[in-house]
Amino acid sequence: MKNHLKNVIVTFLVAVALTGCGGGGGAPANNDTTPPTVTYTAPAFDSSGVNVNTTLIAGFSETMDASTITSATFTLSDTLGNAVPGTVSYSEATAAFKPTNSLVYSTTYTATITTGVKDAAGNAMVTPYTWIFTTAAAPDTTPPTVTSTSPVNGATGVASNAAITATFSEPMDSASITAATFTLNNGVTGTVTYTGTTATFTPNSTLLYSTTYTATITNGVKDAAGNAMAAPYTWAFTTGTAPDTTPPTVTSTSPANGATGVAVGSVITATFSENMSAATITAATFTLSNGMTGTVSYSGTTATFTPTSSLAYSTTYTATISTGVKDAAGNAMVTPYTWTFTTAAQPKVAKIAAGGAHAIAIKSDGTLWAWGANLYGQLGDGTKVNKTTPVQIGTGTTWSAISAGVNHTIALKSDGTLWAWGANGSGQLGDGTTVDKTTPVQIGMGTNWSAISAGGGHTIALKSDGTLWAWGNNLSGQLGDGTTVDKTTPVQIGMGTNWSAISAGRFHTLAVKSDRTLWAWGHNFYGELGDGTTVDKYTPTQISIVGTASWIKVSAGENHSLGLMTGKFMATTLRAWGHNTTGQLGDGTMVDKTSPTQIGTDTTWGTISAGRMHTLALKTDGTLWAWGSNIIGELGDGTTVSKTSPIQIAAGTTWSAISASYHFNLALKADGTLWAWGTNSSGQLGDGTTIGKTAPQLVF
């Protein structure tokens, strides 16, 4: 600029000298007609990062008339067009605009030289001259902060070889980030690096296990603008435990080693000393002897072997956990772990009931089994398909009593609840409907049922309070409620609370009270009620008999009845009455009887069961006897010849329970084995065939 002013002065002096050399001393000539122009500006056009305290300069192409260089002809405005106040000065062909106040940061301004400016010869600029520039951003005065760390504050289980990092809110002065400003306590040394916005402390040695460390970023660290952190930043973390190198062990098993009487439906479990790798717990590493296959699962610290099928009874098994199993850290067991256990003996059959063409049994373990006809769902297995061998019904183990009708089944559980299934056309299930059921349904919500008896199409039951209840078919008054109207829910019979024994026949009912009196009601066409008539009775009618003997047991068949009486010296005699066309009463005739008639002179009868047209009985010495119809071998004597008097069936003195049905029978021996004979058209003998048997055959 100084050189430019010097040139202007020299030019001016030359011009003065020339005007002084002309002859005659006349007035000098003025030949300048060229308009002035702006040759340069400061800041230059479109400059950025301009200092907010700058003075604007505009240089002209020639000497200007200073009086025209004013705040009116040299102006500055912001982006909104607002005028910026300032003072304007001129010197040596250069105009200067000094803003009154500092300019605003990060703002674009427009400077203008108007056509009001003129050169020394009076020539004005042809057009206004404008240029723009942008001021610098405001200087950074914000202290940096730590926005995140790794590990995070309070972290646990941190790897002992982890690097410690801190990320800042802005770019930092890397020279300020050193081992002096980024430290770790407990005397840990390390190297510190910085990249991006993250500082990293890499320990020179592995950190200690299970130790809490505190990392610190001091306020000696600065950002790129030189701002220091307002305060030191600290955070803590805890390293993980030392790696697991201890092999796992088996701490317990189920069944325990050496256990006996183990249920055949058991699953086998092994519990480990620590968490295991589930992928290593498989059917290849957890096995059971005797060729048993199964599925293996793992949960918590326990592995479970679930056999594909039930275990065998009375069998010793060896379970093995191989060294292929590993803990979560990959440590394998040092040696295989084995243990043995022995399953329980096969449960005995404890209770039996023969229906029209189906059979029900309860085993000593409380499980329920069924086989035979299933047209109405009377087996209770959820189907209506006949079964020729016993199938378990559900998984319950609390069944305590059963009774089978012609096509329905009644049962009790040990908790005193009553259950029913099968045919329900007359409401004989007692659930308030007439819809058949293929699985057991609870009848009522009571828990005080104590005895049950299923008839042809009706059901009789006792409660533990001695009350008598009945429901189902009532065509002949067999419910005893004084009507012939069917009932779909239990109704109390009479108001007494001293009933002690019951038996439901096809269409009639027998019962004994606690005073040993005998009562009967229902169908009586053949004299099966025993009251000396053949007239049906719709309410309980006492059956009188001459003598001092008292009734202890009764059994109602299709159209005949049986009863046991005790007299002096505890002698037990057998009485029979009703239909007798096939000799089912056992009195040596085929003549019906309308009142109880003693059968023979034996006094050791223990158990009785009336079938359709035949009879079974046990004596107290464990012998089995039968009489009546035998057209399909239902007596079990190996023939098809009917008998009018009791004959002993199958030599032996270990028979313990009997159940006679339409044309087949069930019997138990003292060893818990179940035997069956008679017709088998629906598989009711349970031997896997539909072939009838004329002598007792083992079922299981």
CATH second-level architecture of 250-343? Sandwich (2.60)
pLDDT tens per residue, range 651-687: 899 999 999 999 999 999 999 999 999 999 999 999 9
The answer to whether 118 and 36 are in contact (CB under 8 A) is yes
560: which 2 tokens?
């005949």
pLDDT of residue 567: 77
Question: pLDDT category, 354, cuts 50, 70, 90?
Answer: very high
pLDDT of residue 570: 65
Please tell me the class of the 349-496 domain.
Answer: mainly beta
pLDDT of residue 9: 34
Mean pLDDT (whole number) for 481-509: 96
pLDDT tens per residue, range 361-386: 999 999 999 999 999 999 999 999 99
Mean pLDDT (whole number) for 59-73: 96
Residues of each domain in the chain carrying CATH 2.60.40.1220: 2-18+33-135, 146-239, 250-343
For residues 27 and 695, which has the higher predicted lDDT (pLDDT)? Answer: 695
Residue 323 to residue 280: CA distance in whole angstroms: 10
* In the chain, % of residues over pLDDT 70: 95
Residue 3 pLDDT > 60: no
Mean pLDDT (whole number) for 189-204: 97
pLDDT of residue 12: 37
Question: pLDDT category, 568, cuts 50, 70, 90?
Answer: low
Residue 162 to residue 628: CA distance in whole angstroms: 94
pLDDT of residue 669: 96
Mean pLDDT (whole number) for 433-439: 98
Residue 11 pLDDT > 50: no
Burial profile 370-402: b = 16 or more Cβ within 10 angstroms, e = fewer: bbbbbbbbbbbbeeeebbbebbebeeebebbbb
The answer to whether 559 and 585 are in contact (CB under 8 A) is no
* In the chain, % of residues over pLDDT 90: 91
CATH fold of the domain at 146-239? Immunoglobulin-like (2.60.40)
Residue 50 pLDDT > 70: yes
pTM: 0.62
Question: pLDDT category, 569, cuts 50, 70, 90?
Answer: low
Residues of each domain in the chain carrying CATH 2.130.10.30: 349-496
Question: pLDDT category, 500, cuts 50, 70, 90?
Answer: very high
pLDDT of residue 22: 37
pLDDT tens per residue, range 630-644: 999 999 999 999 999
CATH fold of the domain at 2-18+33-135? Immunoglobulin-like (2.60.40)
Residue 191 pLDDT > 50: yes
User: Mean pLDDT in the chain?
Assistant: 93
pLDDT of residue 8: 36
pLDDT of residue 157: 93
Q: Which sign, positive or negative, has the C-alpha torsion 320, 324, 329, 334?
A: positive
pLDDT tens per residue, range 263-300: 898 999 999 999 999 999 999 999 999 999 999 999 99
CA distance between the termini of the chain: 127
